[in-house]
Structure 1
Amino acid sequence: MSSTPHLDALQRDGFVVIRNLLTPAEITHYRTIATEVTTKTRTGGWPHFRTHLLHPEMEHRQSFAKCYFSESILKVVEELVGVSSSADTEPLVMELFNLLVAPETKDFELRWHRDDIAETATAEEELAQLAAKSPGGRQSHAQYNLALCPDASLIVIPGSHRRARTDIERNAKPYEPSLPDQLVVQLQPGDAVFYDSNILHRGVYKGKDEGAEETRLTLHGSLGVKADGDDEKKKVRATAVLQHGVGAWVHRDDAAFGIGERPEKMRANLVAMGTGEGIGYSLKG
């Protein structure tokens, strides 16, 4: 038996599904509060389009923080990125925690992409960047979708995180509905998928009627590894994280979580990355 089964699957396939990461009681609780903040946002009560659930003014913030910083999630993250916390050091960096919901009245799709490798990259550039961004087969961050409702929105091409695009993939239409070997990741409430950010993937989101019950409530989180002494790694990750606005408030006095020391150490690691002003973006568009 492997001591790192989740990492093994991630390195092989580019994603790993973990079933029942939440208990039934947790699913009910988080679905209830996620519905409340979604309704508030849809009706204009929350001004931020990208609803960062750890914002100091976000309703139910502490409950969402308990999920984000939970031992069950952090244990998986530590395995995937190859670090462990101690009393003296905290290697993880708080990054993003957003809520993904169904669009109202119409469907919505994302184009095929890798999160931080441009579609204009040549095959040689792709291979070089994939190797640089996952040295030794490990990324310097872990990201996941944690479903509170049945979710079949993520479509991936297994193994594409370790190779350049094929000619078919490179020449495909941006919203091509069917590519060879593509797989729809099927999640039930409480399931999570952790995936390599540079696997070739896209999202297909089915709309719901205006005012109807929420059909998609998925927690999307990412956590990084502290890049001590490596300014280039710090800059690369900062462009991917701070562009989402978290740098504008994470340093505030009211941004403390009050749920233990480890979340504060992880928040301090993010504060050290800066505010995000003038650093640019990881991708265009």
Structure 2
Amino acid sequence: MTLQISQQPVLSNAERASFREQGYLIRKLLDDASVGRYVAAVEEARRERGDRQRMSNLQFLQPGKAIRGIQDIICNADILAVCRDLLGEGIIVDGASLFYGEAGVDYRQGWHRDVLQVPDDEIDLHWFSEDYHYNYVQMNMPLTTDGCLWIVPGSHRRQLNAEERAVFGNTEKMAPVDAPELAAGKQILLQPGEAVFYNNYAVHRGWGGVLADKRITIHMGFHSAQHAPTLHFGVLDHTEYSLEYLSSLAPCVREALCAHLVERARHPEVNVFHAYHQQFLRKEFKTT
């Protein structure tokens, strides 16, 4: 079960080539009315929950944490079309978070690759090479102006260089928060409704310093059923998707999560990475 059939490409050959080489792509996908609807849904959900956290990472597809008013973004035809052009047919949602931060919050991460949840002795350096087929793409869709994503273009296709190794030290995972800047680090500044699709094996970080304005950004991950999964497939906690919960969802959201469940059943080998990811979330990140 998948959400789309074969369609004409929406990305040019040059855009696809740039994504392969640079590791990211920016597209304007939501109009102002859609952005406004999602912002209102987020704020309403926070009021209903009495949520006063100044910064949170909300897993909005999980029971008990769901934000019903934004869930249908996982069915957005334009988002799925870009993912299809980047990965292949049979796009499966896998990962859905809402990043929320009030003005004045100090938001800083160290430079890293998204292998933080993987034991060191299971990290394969071939993952960071030109010929590795990484069947996953992450997307940030801000609902407010957002300049918090920084990336080192092209770094997903190679080992750490000398400058990066100096700040990462003896690890492939993360540099200290107070490590020096990287000369090739590029800030991705997005306006509401723009989306950045990126390879999360690239060296990147979330860094806003003390936020001057509120940050509301939807973060998602996607996999193609056309190819074997890589370690990030299995982020959603599928064990919580009961028949009762699924039946309560909007039809397109239910279909998307059922497609995820079918794909998970096809690939039980990812269960170990799912377990690593859930353990990592509990230990390293406070999420709601």
What is the DSSP-based 3-state SS (H/G/I as helix, E as strand, rest coil) of the residue aligned with 2:147? Answer: coil
Report if the CA contact (8 A) 1:103-1:207 is conserved. Answer: no
Using the TM superposition, give the Cα deviation of residue 68 of structure 1 relative to its aligned residue in structure 2, in angstroms.
1.3
Q: 2:144 corresponds to which residue?
A: 149
Q: 1:54 corresponds to which residue?
A: 61
Distance across 2 between alignment mates of 1:5 and 1:111:
31
Distance across 2 between alignment mates of 1:106 and 1:258:
34
Alignment of 1:82-121 (within 5 A): 82-83=88-89, 91-102=90-101, 106-116=105-115
Distance across 1 between alignment mates of 2:105 and 2:39:
22
What is the DSSP-based 3-state SS (H/G/I as helix, E as strand, rest coil) of the residue aligned with 1:185? Answer: strand
Q: Mark the runs of 5 or more structure 2 residues left unpaired by the alignment.
A: 1-9, 168-174
Deviations 1:226-248 (A, max 9, x none): 377x6xx47x345x515xxx223
What is the DSSP-based 3-state SS (H/G/I as helix, E as strand, rest coil) of the residue aligned with 2:59? Answer: coil
Q: 1:12 corresponds to which residue?
A: 21
Q: 1:36 corresponds to which residue?
A: 44
Q: 1:27 corresponds to which residue?
A: 35
Distance across 2 between alignment mates of 1:264 and 1:203:
28
Using the TM superposition, give the Cα deviation of residue 81 of structure 1 relative to its aligned residue in structure 2, in angstroms.
0.4
Deviations 1:66-95 (A, max 9, x none): 211110111011011022xxxxxxx23231
| Residues 1:247 and 2:246 are matched in the alignment | no
What is the DSSP-based 3-state SS (H/G/I as helix, E as strand, rest coil) of the residue aligned with 2:19? Answer: helix
Using the TM superposition, give the Cα deviation of residue 130 of structure 1 relative to its aligned residue in structure 2, in angstroms.
2.0
**1:161 pairs with 145, 156, 159, which one?**
156
Distance across 1 between alignment mates of 2:246 and 2:157:
38
Report if the CA contact (8 A) 1:54-1:65 is conserved. Answer: yes
Deviations 1:15-71 (A, max 9, x none): 11112x1011001101111223345567369xxx6412122444541x323211110
Distance across 1 between alignment mates of 2:273 and 2:73:
31
Q: 2:4 corresponds to which residue?
A: none
Aligned residues between the structures: 256
Report if the CA contact (8 A) 2:95-2:220 is conserved. Answer: yes
Using the TM superposition, give the Cα deviation of residue 181 of structure 1 relative to its aligned residue in structure 2, in angstroms.
1.5
Deviations 1:93-118 (A, max 9, x none): 23111101226754121111110278
| Residues 1:79 and 2:74 are matched in the alignment | no
Q: 1:88 corresponds to which residue?
A: none
Using the TM superposition, give the Cα deviation of residue 184 of structure 1 relative to its aligned residue in structure 2, in angstroms.
0.4
Structure 1 residue runs of 4 or more that deviate by more than 6 Å after TM superposition:
117-122
Distance across 2 between alignment mates of 1:8 and 1:132:
13
Q: Mark the runs of 5 or more structure 1 residues left unpaired by the alignment.
A: 84-90
Distance across 2 between alignment mates of 1:219 and 1:150:
12
Cα 1:237–1:44 shift into 2, 3 Å? same
Q: 2:250 corresponds to which residue?
A: 258
Q: Percent identity?
A: 21
Please identify which structure carries the higher strand content.
Answer: 2
Report if the CA contact (8 A) 1:10-1:16 is conserved. Answer: yes
Using the TM superposition, give the Cα deviation of residue 215 of structure 1 relative to its aligned residue in structure 2, in angstroms.
0.7
Distance across 2 between alignment mates of 1:151 and 1:145:
10
* 199-208 vs 142-151, greater mean Cα deviation: 199-208
Give the RMSD, CA atoms, in angstroms.
Answer: 3.6
Distance across 1 between alignment mates of 2:273 and 2:127:
23
Using the TM superposition, give the Cα deviation of residue 9 of structure 1 relative to its aligned residue in structure 2, in angstroms.
2.1
